[in-house]
Each structure stands twice: as C-alpha cells, then as structure tokens.
C-alpha cells in the first residue's frame, strides 16, 4: 500500500458485537480498496487471539482499522508488532504527571506496570489479489476489574487504574496515524527498518524471561531473546535457538 495522506472512512457506534467482524463485512462488500476505521464504545462479543474472548464493557477504546496490502506482502505478523508499537507510543504521549513506560508482550499485548492493558488481533480478508489486513485494538481505558473474572483481575490493568486519563478520540487518531505512516513507509513489510525493530525490542516484556512454548505439541522451556525483523521471537533452549512465529507463550519466571 503506497499511499500517504490516507483518507479513512470513520464509523463510530455505541455497541457492536466486534469491530473486527463489522470491518470484515465492510471489506467483503466493497469493490474498492477499503480504508476505514470502526470504533465502538462497547462490544458484546469482542474477540482475542487463539479464539479467546476479549472483555469489552463500556468505556474502553475498541477499534479496527483496515490495511489494503500489496499482494506481495509476506511479513504480515510484523503488522501486529507495529500496531503494538504505535499504540504504546501513543499511550506514552498522553499527558500525565508521571512517565508512562509501555512494554510489548510478544506477539500482541501491551503491558503497563506488569499487567495487560491492551490486546491486538490482526486478521486477513481476501485472496492473493486483494489482501486486506484488519487490525483490531482493544485498550482498557476505565477500570474493569469489577466486570473481570476473578482469575484475571491481577493480570490486567487499565489506563485510568494507572492514573492515565486520555482523550479517547485523540488517542485513536494518534494510533491510526502512526500505524498508517508505518505501513506507508515500510511497503511490503519485508525490510522493516532497524530503528523500528530496536524500538520494539527496547520495550519487549519477555526479553530475558524464562518462558514456555509449544513446538509440535511438545512443551519447551527457554530464555526469551530478541524479536527478529520477520516478527519471530528468538528463544534459547537446551536444544538450541528457536525462532517462534505464532502460538502461545507463557512466562515461567522473570
Ligand atoms: C487479544 O487480547 O488476544 C486481542 C484482543 C483484541 C481486541 C480488539 S477490540 C477491537 C477488535 N474487535 C475485536 O473483536 N477484537 C479486537
């Protein structure tokens, strides 16, 4: 997608099942490349990675943006990391009395003070000739611990819970602009700039932690290393270095 000054259709709704699903329907129904953002105040069926649900009560920032991609785009997993970086940088720019340091938990979460504050779900629509990525971002803006299942409470946080009170619209605009610039500048995403990879690694939550991942059904433990240019996470194990591209990673120690 080589286009600067992208003009996006913006749709705002109070409630929907999932903004990713709405945007996918819009793309299927469109004959032109679709540049849109759909945002909702609450979702009744918010979806996360690996078929999980994403709790989306009132007062969060839930939106999806579409990215028509060059048909030669290979490095699509990097889009999720780039979206994480765009959202982290936008959150860090919110005016507050204390400095905000967001961490990126490979491959799709943002952590604040050790807890998840944002999740990203990237999905693809179409065939080789018309490939469009739907990048869905969910940010816990207000404190949702009351609505949250007990076992999750100590794992998640919110911007308000960390003393951060954003203008939701400004935050949305800032994330989309940042990600639009990234996709415009990086083209097919195959040669992502070193600077962006460094920024992602500087914020890596897993780096140096002992983690467990699954390789063909086997659970393997190792020490998480760098995130590579192709979006893979390197892990040093007794069996050597692995580069993992998808799947679930759990933190054992850190
Ligand atoms: C995850 O935590 O695994 C990813 C969560 C992604 C949530 C966002 S909210 C906007 C968009 N609509 C959805 O149904 N999911 C994404």
pLDDT digits (tens, 9 = 90+) for 5-34: 678 899 999 999 999 999 999 999 888 889
* Closest atom of ligand 1 relative to the 20 alpha carbon: 12
Query: Is 167 in a helix, a strand, or coil?
Result: coil
Tell which wins on pLDDT, 120 or 250.
120
Residue-level pLDDT at 25: 95
Residue-level pLDDT at 127: 62
DSSP 34: P
Q: Which residues pair with 32 in a beta bridge?
A: none
Nearest residue by C-alpha to atom 9 in ligand 1: 138
Q: Cβ(101)–Cβ(92) under 8 Å?
A: yes
- The two tokens of residue 67 are 């990215």
Q: Cβ(49)–Cβ(105) under 8 Å?
A: no
Query: Is 131 in a helix, a strand, or coil?
Result: strand
What's the rounded Cα separation, in Å, for the pair 91 and 99? 11
Query: Is 56 in a helix, a strand, or coil?
Result: coil
18 Cβ inside 6 Å of ligand 1: yes
* Closest atom of ligand 1 relative to the 137 alpha carbon: 8
**Does residue 189 carry a pLDDT above 80?**
no
* Closest atom of ligand 1 relative to the 40 alpha carbon: 10
Name the average pLDDT for the chain.
92
Residue 180, classified by CB atoms within 10 Å of its CB into exposed (0-12), middle (13-18) or buried (19+), is buried
Percentage above 70 pLDDT, the chain: 96
For 49, 52, 90, 205, the CA distances from 176, given in Å and listed in that order, are: 21, 24, 9, 23
Find out whether the peptide bond into 107 is cis, omega within 30 degrees of 0.
Answer: yes
For residue 27, which of 69, 61, 60, 62 has the smallest C-alpha distance? 69
Most ligand 1 atoms within 8 A of CB, residue of 54, 57, 141 to mutate: 54
Q: Where are the beta strands (DSSP E) in the chain?
A: 9-16, 36-43, 61-69, 102-105, 109-112, 115-125, 131-139, 210-215, 218-227, 233-237, 240-244, 249-253
pTM of the model: 0.94
Percentage above 90 pLDDT, the chain: 72
Angle (CA) 104 107 112, round 5°: 25
Give the contacts of 218 (CB within 8 A, at least 6 positions apart): none
187 Cβ inside 6 Å of ligand 1: no
Handedness of CA 57, 58, 59, 64 (dihedral sign): positive
């Amino acid at each position: 997608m080589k286009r600067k000054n992208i003009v996006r259709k913006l749709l705002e709704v109070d409630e929907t099942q999932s903004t990713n699903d709405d945007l996918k329907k819009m793309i299927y129904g469109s004959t032109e490349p679709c540049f849109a953002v759909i945002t909702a105040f609450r979702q009744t069926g918010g979806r996360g990675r690996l078929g999980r649900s994403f709790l989306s009560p009132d007062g969060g920032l839930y939106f999806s943006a579409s990215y028509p991609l060059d048909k030669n785009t290979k490095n699509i997993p990097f889009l999720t990391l780039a979206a994480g970086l765009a959202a982290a940088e936008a959150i860090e720019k919110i005016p507050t009395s204390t400095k905000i340091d967001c961490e990126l938990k490979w491959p799709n979460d943002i952590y604040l003070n050790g807890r998840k504050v944002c999740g990203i779900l990237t999905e693809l629509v179409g065939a080789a000739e018309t490939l469009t990525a739907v990048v869905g971002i969910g940010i816990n803006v207000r404190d949702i611990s009351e609505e949250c299942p007990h076992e999750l409470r100590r794992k998640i946080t919110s911007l308000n819970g960390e003393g951060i009170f954003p203008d939701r619209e400004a935050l949305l605009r800032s994330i989309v602009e940042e990600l639009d610039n990234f996709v415009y500048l990086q083209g097919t995403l195959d040669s992502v700039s070193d600077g962006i990879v460094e920024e992602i690694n500087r914020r890596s939550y897993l780096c140096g932690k002992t983690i467990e991942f699954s390789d063909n059904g086997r659970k393997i433990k190792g020490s998480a290393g760098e995130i590579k240019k192709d979006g893979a996470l390197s892990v040093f194990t007794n069996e050597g270095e692995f580069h993992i591209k998808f799947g679930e990673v759990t933190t054992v120690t850190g």
